[in-house]
Structure formats: structure tokens, C-alpha cells
């Protein structure tokens, strides 16, 4: 996921009796930064680390014995609160996007060499192999009964990496609010959510990184009580036959992304929603994604694309609501 660069408007207005607290580290294969204002300077490092640990025990493919690994190796699993929240949201997004986002994509991710165990050399799989693997891909193969997640067909496996970090940001945000903290910015691997104001009594402001440029900041925008996530195709990829294949996999066709889109940034009411939709929107492409945003305003989505035009120049396109948040 793309890293966001956090900025603060330099206006000397202080929020009385509150200090800026910052906790950061590594988790879920990436970085995290938690910033908030509070009069209480008690360290929250231990409970923050505990939240990451609990979510990893549920959803991490890299954690032996995690719930997700046990489900993938078996037929069903009794979900905890984390898995249930992520699976239910994932299935909802799958239905809305006609399967453009689908957590049963794991066999395809492994086939293309982007899974937990990456091959020394990645290659494009054959059409026959893709067809065989696609038989086990599809959100309709999953069933929820009570707290149980059940496979309708053997060979189905799930991968929640495309939405779990957004969910984690939301969990950390709720944890802060439960402690009475109402001014914060949470960033888990570039999946951010914010509330209130920074230490200068201004709305939290973030910069979106533009890859391949000397100045990495392409756009600066205010993030008022919203969440923002990005999906990009330039960090994990391989080249073959003059084509670049990215780690974003289309669950319907089985193909790895090889389009002119560099990244898509999505704003939503919470990070789990933005994180799930950014995968689907990048697969839709600019025109279809913009149409989708206009067609379904009830989901509260705003979108910003960075892409290469036919002549190789880098261009951008954003929804009207996204433009209103830009700092000019």
C-alpha cells in the first residue's frame, strides 16, 4: 500500500491542556503511526501492540495457527469479532462490485507468485491453469451461519490482506475514542482515518505520494473525520514480455493488473470501506470507477486516480467531492 505523508498547517493555535502523543512501529508487514491529542500522557503502546497481536491471530496469513490459516486448511471456522467484521464487509463489497473485490482470491494470488511463499522467478500462468484455479474463486463459495464461516466447496481459500489494514486502522480509532480521545490520526501502512484537529487546532492534513517524481507529494488534502486508503500497482510487480503485472488480481478473470493506472486513492466514512473499494475501483479503471462513484452516492466514496496517458505522461482525475478537500 502507498505511504501517506502527513502534514500539519503551520498555524500557531494550540488546543489547551492537550499534548500531541505519537506511537509508531512495525506491524502487519508494514509501519504504523498513531497520533492524538490528550491531557493524559500515559503510554498506550502496550494496548496498541495488543490490538495488532489480536488481529494478527485472526487474519494474518503469516501467523501459524491464525484463524484464517486454520480456515484455509480446513472446512469451516468459528470466527472471532475481527474475522467476522472483515468477512461480512468483504462479502458486502463483493456483491456491490460484482466480484471485483473478493477475498477468495488467495489461490490466484499464490498462482501469480504474490502470496506468502513467493517463488524465485514469477511468470504468467497458463490459461488452463488459470481456468482450473478460478473454479475455487468466488465469494458465493462462502457461507456464514451464526459465527461460523463455511466453505461451500473444497479448495476455497481466503486472503484478507486487501482490507485488513483498513479494518485495523478503524479498530485503533475506536480504541482511542473509547478512552475519550477525539482528536487523532491513525495510519496503518498508508490506510488512514482521522477525527478532530491536530495540535495547531486545524483539520488533519495529508499528502498523497506520487510515484516516480522528485517531489513525492502530488496532492495535499484535508481529512475531516474521514478515512483514506490507496491501492497501487508500482510496488509489487514483475515484468514479462514487455508487460508489467502487478499484485492486484482480478478475481473474475484471474488476471494480474496490467493497466495504465498507477494508483487509486479512496476516501470513505471508515478505513475498512475505503480499503475494500480501492481494490475494486483500480480494477474497474478510471471511467467505470467514476461512473460507479456517481451511480452509488449512498456509499460516500470519493476517488482520485493517477495514471499514464497513451503518450506516457502522468495524469490525474478525481471525483468532485475529492477536489473539495484539496488544499490549494
Q: Which residue has the cell 470513505?
A: 268
Domain ranges of the chain: 4-42+163-324, 53-159
Environment class of 251 (CB within 10 Å of its CB; exposed 0-12, middle 13-18, buried 19+): buried
Environment class of 126 (CB within 10 Å of its CB; exposed 0-12, middle 13-18, buried 19+): exposed
Number of Cβ within a 10 Å radius of residue 147? 12
User: pLDDT for 174-219, tens place per residue?
Assistant: 999 999 999 999 999 999 999 999 999 999 999 887 655 555 566 7
Q: How far apart are CA 243 and CA 119, in angstroms?
A: 19
Q: Above 90 in pLDDT, residue 294? A: yes
What is the average pLDDT across 240-249? Answer: 70
Cβ-contact 270, 263 below 8 angstroms: no
Cβ-contact 83, 58 below 8 angstroms: yes
Strands (E), the chain: 4-7, 19-27, 30-38, 76-78, 142-145, 148-151, 184-188, 191-195, 205-209, 217-222, 227-232, 237-240, 243-246, 261-268, 302-308, 314-318
What is the average pLDDT across 226-242? Answer: 73
User: pLDDT for 102-141, tens place per residue?
Assistant: 999 999 999 988 888 877 778 888 899 999 999 999 999 9
- Where does 53-159 sit in CATH, by number? 1.10.3980.10
For the stretch 161-175, what's the b/e string if a residue is b when 16 or more beta carbons lie within 10 angstroms of its beta carbon? Answer: bbbbbbbbbbbbbeb
User: pLDDT for 37-70, tens place per residue?
Assistant: 999 999 999 999 999 999 999 999 999 999 999 9
Q: How far apart are CA 53 and CA 165, in angstroms?
A: 13
Q: How far apart are CA 227 and CA 230, in angstroms?
A: 11
Q: Is the pTM of this model over 0.75?
A: yes
Residue 146: pLDDT band by 50, 70, 90 thresholds?
very high
pLDDT attached to residue 8:
43
Q: Can you say whether the dihedral through the CA atoms of 271, 197, 302, 109 is positive or negative?
A: negative
What is the average pLDDT across 285-302? Answer: 95
- Where does 4-42+163-324 sit in CATH, by number? 3.10.520.10
Phi, psi of 314 (to 5 degrees): -85, 130
Q: Which residue has the cell 461451500?
A: 152
Q: How far apart are CA 207 and CA 115, in angstroms?
A: 30
User: pLDDT for 24-34, tens place per residue?
Assistant: 999 998 999 99
Look at residues 6, 97, 86 and name the one whose alpha carbon lies nearest to residue 270. Answer: 86
Q: How far apart are CA 96 and CA 30, in angstroms?
A: 29
What is the average pLDDT across 251-260? Answer: 82
Q: Above 70 in pLDDT, residue 233? A: no
Amino acid at each position: 500500500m502507498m505511504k501517506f505523508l502527513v502534514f500539519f498547517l503551520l498555524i500557531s493555535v494550540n488546543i489547551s491542556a492537550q499534548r500531541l502523543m505519537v506511537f509508531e512501529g512495525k506491524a502487519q508487514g508494514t509501519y504504523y503511526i498513531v497520533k492524538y491529542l490528550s491531557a493524559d500522557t500515559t503510554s498506550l503502546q502496550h494496548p496498541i501492540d495488543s490490538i495488532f497481536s489480536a488481529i494478527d491471530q485472526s487474519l494474518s496469513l503469516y501467523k501459524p495457527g491464525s484463524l484464517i490459516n486454520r480456515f484455509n486448511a480446513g472446512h469451516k471456522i468459528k470466527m472471532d469479532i475481527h474475522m467476522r467484521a472483515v468477512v461480512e464487509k468483504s462479502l458486502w463489497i463483493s456483491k456491490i462490485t460484482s466480484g471485483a473485490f473478493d477475498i477468495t482470491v488467495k489461490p490466484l494470488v499464490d498462482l501469480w507468485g504474490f502470496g506468502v511463499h513467493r517463488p524465485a522467478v514469477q511468470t504468467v500462468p497458463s490459461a488452463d491453469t488459470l481456468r482450473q484455479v478460478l473454479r475455487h474463486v468466488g465469494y458465493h463459495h462462502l457461507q456464514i451461519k451464526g459465527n461460523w464461516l463455511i466453505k461451500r466447496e473444497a479448495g476455497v481459500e481466503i486472503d484478507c490482506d486487501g482490507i485488513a489494514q483498513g479494518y485495523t486502522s478503524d479498530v485503533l480509532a475506536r480504541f482511542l475514542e473509547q478512552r475519550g480521545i477525539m482528536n487523532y490520526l491513525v495510519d496503518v501502512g498508508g490506510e488512514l482515518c482521522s477525527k478532530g484537529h491536530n495540535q495547531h487546532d486545524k483539520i488533519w492534513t495529508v499528502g498523497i505520494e506520487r510515484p516516480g517524481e522528485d517531489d513525492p507529494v502530488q496532492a495535499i488534502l484535508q481529512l475531516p473525520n474521514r478515512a483514506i486508503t490507496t491501492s497501487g500497482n508500482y510496488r509489487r510487480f514483475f515484468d514479462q514480455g514487455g508487460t508489467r503485472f502487478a499484485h492486484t488480481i482480478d478475481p473474475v478473470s484471474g488476471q494480474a493488473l496490467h493497466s495504465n493506472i498507477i494508483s487509486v486513492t479512496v476516501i470513505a466514512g471508515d478505513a475498512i470501506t475505503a480499503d475494500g473499494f480501492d481494490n475494486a475501483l483500480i480494477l474497474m479503471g478510471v471511467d467505470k470507477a467514476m461512473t460507479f462513484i456517481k451511480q452509488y452516492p449512498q456509499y460516500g466514496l470519493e476517488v482520485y486516480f493517477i495514471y499514464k496517458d497513451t503518450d506516457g505522461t502522468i495524469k490525474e482525475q478525481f471525483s468532485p467531492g475529492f477536489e473539495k478537500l484539496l488544499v490549494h
